[in-house]
Amino acid sequence: RIDADYITIEYDGLRDQAGLWLLSRVQLLTWPYRCREISNKSASKPQVPPLPIQEMSWPGTGCVVMVLGLSLLPLQVVYVARNAKDVAVSYYHFYHMAKVHPEPGTWDSFLEKFMVGEVSYGSWYQHVQEWWELSRTHPVLYLFYEDMKENPKREIQKILEFVGRSLPEETVDFMVQHTSFKEMKKNPMTNYTTVPQEFMDHSISPFMRKGMAGDWKTTFTVAQNERFDADYAEKMAGCSLSFRFEL
């Protein structure tokens, strides 16, 4: 177990592929000798995306994943954040296919709601900034989705160092391969295809959609991008956080 109790996975308020990606890596890290056993194992029962107050845990691993705020901070946290533009686009598609959400309306109206935090799990800005500040004073490993895309092995090594673990090179390489977007998209353990259609309609949009950094450029109009940039600059003023919007 990590830090005597749990290692907890937290991500920027949105239950999308970024969090699932990190979860898969930490799950393998905390279960290194069961990597091949769990890597392609289908879920034993349909999984429905948890509500903000719910948790998922794995007995014996000391691993919990949640979308909770700071008031319920555990002992040790691995946090992953993704640039706001890609999150907004990803979340729009997730709203469409995940029937636990209301209809998102037009992309333009959804983007406005996202900018003011009127979406599930609240403001992206507040979430990423609060955890960033906390990472300076608490045991929080703050990771970026774009870094995970750019060099997954490097980011896995960061997690290993953070939790005080070391693994054989071949195990780390297996983790890199198994948690690639291509592999996760076809794995029923991670692509949510076992969830009943009344909860997740994959005919509308797959849960594992593109997994790209910078795909927002295919959706944002010039006017929307200019409006977003102005609002982003205002909300991120004074914060030392820096995101990459493409690779």
Q: Which amino acid is at 44?
A: S
Backbone angles phi, psi at 143, to 5 degrees: -110, 160
Pick from 157, 111, 133, 119: which is nearest to 16 by CA? 119
pLDDT value at position 12? Answer: 57
Q: Is the pLDDT of residue 158 over 50?
A: yes
DSSP characters over 40-91? TPPPSS---PPPTT-EEEETTTTEEEE---GGG--SEEEEEE--HHHHHHHH
pLDDT value at position 16? Answer: 52
Is residue 22 within 8 Å of 78, Cβ to Cβ? Answer: yes
Pick from 8, 136, 154, 151: which is nearest to 80 by CA? 8
Q: pLDDT class for 68, splitting at 50, 70, 90?
A: low
Q: What pairing do the DSSP bridges indicate for beta strands 63-66 and 7-11? A: parallel
Out of 7-16, 46-55, 152-161, which region has the weakest mean confidence (pLDDT)?
46-55
Out of 6-20, 85-99, 117-131, 169-183, which region has the weakest mean confidence (pLDDT)?
6-20
pLDDT value at position 102? Answer: 80
The CA distance from 196 to 213, in Å, is 29
Structure tokens at 240: 């030392």
Most confident of 11-15, 18-22, 192-196, 229-233: 229-233
Q: Is the pLDDT of residue 126 over 70?
A: yes
pLDDT value at position 228? Answer: 98
Question: In the predicted model, what is the mean pLDDT of the chain?
Answer: 77
If one compares 42 and 210, the residue with the highest pLDDT of the two is 210
Global confidence as pTM: 0.72
Q: Is the pLDDT of residue 223 over 80?
A: yes
Q: What percent of the chain has pLDDT over 70?
A: 70
CATH topology of domain 2-235: Rossmann fold (3.40.50)
Q: Is the pLDDT of residue 74 over 70?
A: no
pLDDT value at position 53? Answer: 38
4: CB partners within 8 A, 6+ apart? 75
pLDDT value at position 146? Answer: 96
Task: Locate the domains of the chain by residue range.
Answer: 2-235
Q: pLDDT class for 48, splitting at 50, 70, 90?
A: very low
Q: pLDDT class for 7, splitting at 50, 70, 90?
A: very low
Q: For 9, which DSSP code?
A: E
Q: Is the pLDDT of residue 157 over 80?
A: yes
pLDDT value at position 148? Answer: 92
Q: Which residues pair with 11 in a beta bridge?
A: 80
